[in-house]
Structure 1
């Protein structure tokens, strides 16, 4: 009984969620041979997800502003941040702005709140990674449909 619980918890671990996301983006990257074909292709969200926004006339729309190319670039960027870290990115931004690392200050939460804060962010990160993984898989499948290889069960 303990092994079943452990394997269930491992399946839902942050590490596995990151690996699923990275795998989905790698699959997307290997499938999308000509990323420029994604330009101007609207983002169609699956009908079983929450609507993205409500149009000015009150109707619900499942489209986001932008195109599949923008999501492709975003997903690859997030994958790179996970694999290589965001510290380097923050340091580069500060260098461009001329901000010295010693000049920046961080507000540290109280020690009593650290566990709650950690669980809050862990749950949020897990949820975001799951949505990004679905988005990468959807983009891969849409690309296959656009170039005519959809439905071949790859």
Structure 2
């Protein structure tokens, strides 16, 4: 299967949408390359410098568990976070929205437009902060997926192919 690469303008290069697409593409490539994921079992992450920083985040500390983690993150991006934890987060989010809505309604009744402007500015700052963080994490995860793919090729003896 051939992937089509779109031309990115300098402004689009740093978009969240493109960061997600690069990550999903890297994980898809990893998934298509890794034909026998079990070969990644017991292959330590710390042999590759770029991947050593994630070792503490993975319970088993091997390439197989990181492979599974990357696929799980891709699934969450494509399909959303599912399950009881997602339902609980959704309920919490709805409660926060309800509280903010009632606060906004009561503050607009009291005529406090300065507080509304501060809230809007705070929301904008929060959005920029989280957007930047998400883009940085996606960039690192994309590098990790590419690194894992390269490492798998080396493990099975095709390290020089398709690089």
| TM-score, normalisation: structure 2 | 0.69
Cα deviations across residues 88-110 of structure 1 (Å, max 9, x unaligned)?
x1x53377x9x9948x84375x4
- Structure number with larger C-alpha Rg: 2
Q: 1:31 aligns with which of 30, 33, 39?
A: 33
Aligned to 2:62: 67
Question: After superposition, where does 1:4-153 map in structure 2 within 5 Å?
Answer: 7-44=9-46, 46-47=48-49, 52=53, 64-65=55-56, 66-86=61-81, 89=82, 91-93=83-85, 101=91, 105-106=95-96, 110-153=119-162
Greater fraction helix? 2
The Cα shift of 1:111 comes to 3.1
Q: Which runs of 5+ in 2 are unaligned?
A: 1-7, 101-118
Q: 1:124 to 1:100 in 2, by over 3 A?
A: closer
> SS at 1:64's partner residue?
helix
The Cα shift of 1:81 comes to 0.6
Superposition CA RMSD, Å = 3.0
Q: Say if 2:46 and 2:52, in contact at 8 Å, map to a contact too.
A: no
The Cα shift of 1:7 comes to 1.4
Q: Which runs of 5+ in 1 are unaligned?
A: 1-5, 53-62
Cα deviations across residues 128-152 of structure 1 (Å, max 9, x unaligned)?
0000000000000000000111012
Aligned length: 132
